[in-house]
Structure 1
Amino acid sequence: MQVDIQEKKYSCELCTSVFFHKSSLTNHKKQIHAEEKRIPCEVCGATFSKEYSLKRHALIHRGEKPFRCEICALTFSQEYNLKRHVRLHTGEKAFTCDVCGRSFFEKTQLTVHMRTHTGDKPFTCKVCSSVFSDKPSYNKHTRVHAEEKLFHCEVCRSSFPRNSKLKVHMRIHTGEKPFRCEFCTDAFSQEAHLKRHTRIHTGEKPFSCETCGSSFSEKSILRIHIRTHTQEKPFSCQVCGSAFSDNSNLKKHARTHAVEKSFECQVCQSAFASNSDLKVHMLIHTGDKLFYCEVCAYPFSTESQLEQHIRTHTGEKPFQCEICGSAFSRNSQLKRHFNRHK
């Protein structure tokens, strides 16, 4: 069911964006043309427009988690995070679309969903004026313009746009793992990896499919899952034009075209066609296993290994024989099968 298309009548006086609804214009101003935030956090430098926002933020640095879940005893530093977490236990989807009836766990999910009906795209790129319906897509696009990387790693020559990114990267070489799991002995080099790992213990699955209701602990797994509904194959080979549903399969395919292997591992002298392949290979030597199966908690060194493993749970078989139509969960299985036809 589609909303009757009306003329966009709410214009932003600060830029050229126009909207169907006044609320969309208000959100646009807050997110894109927000007033200068003058109150800084003395710990990390983040700035806030209101004093109470700074006080709430400070709980993160002090490690205080005053908000406790009565069901599983997990604690949170922010009340809204507790409310969001509790809905995972109750299954409550309090935010319902008035147009199509779909319900969502969070108001932000409903807000983004409504734009599929209204066509609103409140996020405008200041560089090229491209417009986007959600902030993650907008943020991803803006990184296209921020290509200058001034901070260089003296060990492997990788470059980064910010010094903070370089500091995180250096932990690969130093082996530093400052983020420790409070449930087990595992430690991680990045806070994001710890948060992802913690969901194994808590059972949190905050990412839900709007089509079938399936929930996932990882946003990347949800994106891959959604393509089983849309049949989307957004990753295309620049050499032969073959298309794939996930980037790991494209990378694997690209190696069939890459003859020269100029990136050498300093530990075992294995050679690779790209620096990214070498970085993935280095996980074998460092022992890092950053990717966990949300079903059985088995750890993997690479995202592609995890994606392969997940198919043993989902039953997905994306590799099909063009001769007899047989389908397989792994490309290696298809190759072995294909050899039987020869």
Structure 2
Amino acid sequence: MKDCEALKNHTVVSHKSIDLHAFIPQRIISKDIPVKMDITDLCCKSCNVPLATVEDLIAHIVAIHGQEYDYSAGVCVFPFILNKDLFQCMLCNDKYDNFTSMLGHMYKKHIERAYICQICGNSFIDQVRLNRHISYSHVGHRCKICLKIFDASHKLDKHKQRIHGIQRTVECNLCSSIFENQYQVKVHMGKVHNVERYKIKCEHCPKICTTKGAMLLHVQSLHSDVRFECDLCEYKTGIKWRIKLHKRKHFGEKNYVCSICTRRFGRSSNLSAHMKIHTGNFGRVCRWCRQGFIDSETFDRHEKESHYFNQYN
């Protein structure tokens, strides 16, 4: 949704027929514990009396409308105010710039975590999450094709792509375009749909990044006062590790080998792009002319030579 009001309107119009008596228990059993409730305009639907908190609403329904409520079960609701500017925890008033961070805070600070992992001591709110943690953290991520185990999901994804030719895709929820990862979706949403949160402009040049991390890397690399110089050429950067990466070009180091055709590369990213040859996909696609390239260096050279004017206008 483009904003919070659009999400609210969509929910009211499209999901008003949901059977809450069947829906809520199913969500509690599965993953959404407890139920999340937007209290921006909280009021009693029977008499339209405005109320400040969920506790006030419960007390009102019991006292005024004679309904029963089992107080021994607690409230079982995470209250929040849905807006586009700032998310504030309604239980302790901590503030966050996105809903996911605020929700993570609420799960960690405001819910009883009674299920403890006997291996590492981490605690969880239910048996389902404990089992998931044991599977991911202490068992590993297993490839269903060759049964090889990896310690992280992204490593399993790379393995599936390189060895089995299986490409994981992510869909844009605004136009259903398909991309390789979430970062590419953010780039797409910023450039194509003009979503402001994914258009971070550099204060020093026309460069636009989609994440704060990418912008920080850009500023450190090109605009930082601290400069690291290559002792073999005039290359300079504000990031020390980029010098080490750059020197591989001088010494011809190519430590990344394609497991299919044995071609060698100096960077793991170039090897990943090259693997698209074997899976039938291009590594990078030019947003200006839609021409495909199998490695980042060729793609970057094409953009500079053919579309330099488009990039900065």
> Is TM more than 0.5 here?
no
TM range (shorter): 0.3 to 0.5
Q: TM-score, normalised by structure 1?
A: 0.40
Q: TM-score, normalised by structure 2?
A: 0.42
User: Radius of gyration: which is bigger?
Assistant: 2
